[in-house]
Amino acid sequence: MLKHAWMAAKLVARERSGHTAVLHNNLLYVWGGYMSVGDDEVFLPNDELWEYDLERGVWRVLHTTGDVPPSMSGSCGCCLNGVLFIFGGCDDNGQTNELYSVDLTDGTFTWKKIIHVSGAPPSPRDKLSCWVYDGKIIYFGGYGHKVLSDLDSQVFWGWNNEVHVFDPKDLSWSQPQTFVTPAPRAAHASASIGSKGYICGGRVMVRVLISVVPSSTAPVGRSWHSLSPVSDSRLFLFGGLSMECNPMSDGWVFDTGSRKWTEVEHPFKNKPR
């Protein structure tokens, strides 16, 4: 069981895993996650939001107020119109399907818990992914509660491959019909280019997945990696955990037009993550 860490003075710029990181303009915001302290895994303080200025190379910690989310790992975060949205994650009580937001632009950094919504939200889960399109947030996958079929309403634990859409304008959840759906998974990565969302990797049971069907040599299957758009047609994949749970440091570029992967040489291969 993860333990809370309330030693803020000792956690300045500390390493972490299972956190959320989003980009707004030239600022990177990091929230949540956990770190290892001896034999324990300790949650990072939930009222801290770290800001990194990409141009000046300077960190600062923002102390937040309001309906602060509980300390969690495996939450899914995104930034939409200057607002950070946090959904799901796992805390001391297990997985959750609560949704929180904080405005990154008004200078108050006050959290709000979003509760007056219409439609059915995703079931409690963590290690899911999301992307933003047309003013909405699209969520995919994760590990947690799972209903096996419409005919069987019993809830089980398992990996999901559902797509859920949250519209912050009218505070509504919807679940669109999908076709040729990727296999259920958690700890995968996703990114969007234009009107298309891309899912890569992840984990189900003991298998590690790669979802994009390539026309070239592809990176090995992995989980807990990152996937980011770097142009109008290319995605960059970095690191993650191998099937043997070893951290990796390889970087790859995927061309969405040619469906080809190209490994990128870089000087940081001694810093896996």
Interval 103-123: pLDDT, tens: 999 999 999 999 999 999 999
Give mean pLDDT, residues 130-134: 96
pLDDT of residue 10: 38
The percent of residues in the chain predicted with pLDDT above 90, rounded, is 74
The pLDDT of residue 170 is 96
Supply the pLDDT for residue 245.
87
Q: Regarding beta strands 129-133 and 155-167, do their DSSP bridges make them parallel or antiparallel, or are they unpaired? A: unpaired
Instruction: Give me the pLDDT at residue 210, please.
Output: 58
Work out the average pLDDT over 138-151. 81
Comparing 78-82, 155-159, 242-246, which segment has the lowest mean pLDDT? 155-159
